[in-house]
Homo-oligomer: A and B are copies of this chain.
């Protein structure tokens, strides 16, 4: 059901997420450690911010497996950014291979990705679409549950009051609540797996959430510190001092470095622009 990683901090090379770590996102595309089925080979996507040129993040997506995409390796080598999202996909059904179905999704300065599944999405899709504004509706190009959730996100970004990371967190909270409500109404009893990451290019929020009883949800980890460095193939987070730092939020630890903290079940992770984080409970 996919893997993702988000980095916010001083600029790093894309390779520090997708290639260099022992459990890099490319590695997770064929040999994920924390999934029953270790394969996430149905496409991938990367979003990164280039604030000196544009508020809109750059997007590179492909339906091919991450592990054999030569262009991804090239970009990993030359792209630097202070804010990067990376996603590898395991399609939940046949026939959905298109770039439009690859995460991250993007609109304006916002980027979003999802790891999980909306139970009974076939029943939920029409009532979900009926709730959307025309603007959010028009942005949907593919047919994944995740892109439909992003449309909800876009509408909630307009409707939900607030600023900065608290705003992003409140939006995720409301999208989770809406999704749970839609499933309850139209696909009662189906489980939801809603691990999200959302950013506005400056701050970020993520969540780990499930309605499945007796299950903590798809795995999600957080790692913070002074700086994230990859040297000679070893990637680690320098121990934190005060002030501006680095944050990684990832479906699985990227490295064997200690300091990867599991995000508790049904929690929000709020990532501030200075690289500090706060965990808060998330109620449906």
Contact = CB atoms under 8 A, between A and B. Distances in A.
Interface stretch (A56-64, A200-208, A230-238): A56-64
A122 interface: yes
With most chain B CB atoms within 10 A of its CB, the pick from A97, A134, A142 is A97
Contacts of A142: 98, 142-143
A141 B95 contact: yes
With most chain B CB atoms within 10 A of its CB, the pick from A61, A78, A91, A129 is A78
A74 B100 contact: no
A138 interface: yes
Interface size band for A: 35 or more
Interface string A121-137: 01001100100001001
A192 interface: no
Given A58-B77, A71-B60, A97-B70, A39 B39 contact: yes
A180 B64 CA distance: 35
Copies in the complex: 4
5 contacts: A54-B77, A62-B71, A98-B98, A129-B129, A142-B142
A107 to B, nearest CB: 13
Interface of A: 13, 30, 39, 41-42, 50, 53-54, 56, 58-65, 67-68, 70-71, 73-75, 77-78, 80, 91, 94-101, 122, 125-126, 129, 134, 137-138, 140-143
Contacts of A137: 125-126
A264 B58 CA distance: 40
A141 B53 CA distance: 34
Contact of A65 (B60, B65, B126, B140): B65
B129 A53 contact: no
Contacts of A64: 63-64, 97
A42 B134 CA distance: 28
Contacts of A96: 100, 141
B50 A41 contact: no
Nearest to A91: B68
Contacts of A138: 122, 125
Contacts of A122: 138
A139 to B, nearest CB: 10
Contacts of A95: 70, 100, 141
A251 to B, nearest CB: 19
Contacts of A58: 74-75, 77-78
A56 B60 CA distance: 21
Q: Give the top 8 A-B pairs by smallest Cβ distance, nearest first.
A: A98-B98, A58-B78, A50-B78, A141-B143, A59-B74, A58-B74, A41-B41, A60-B71
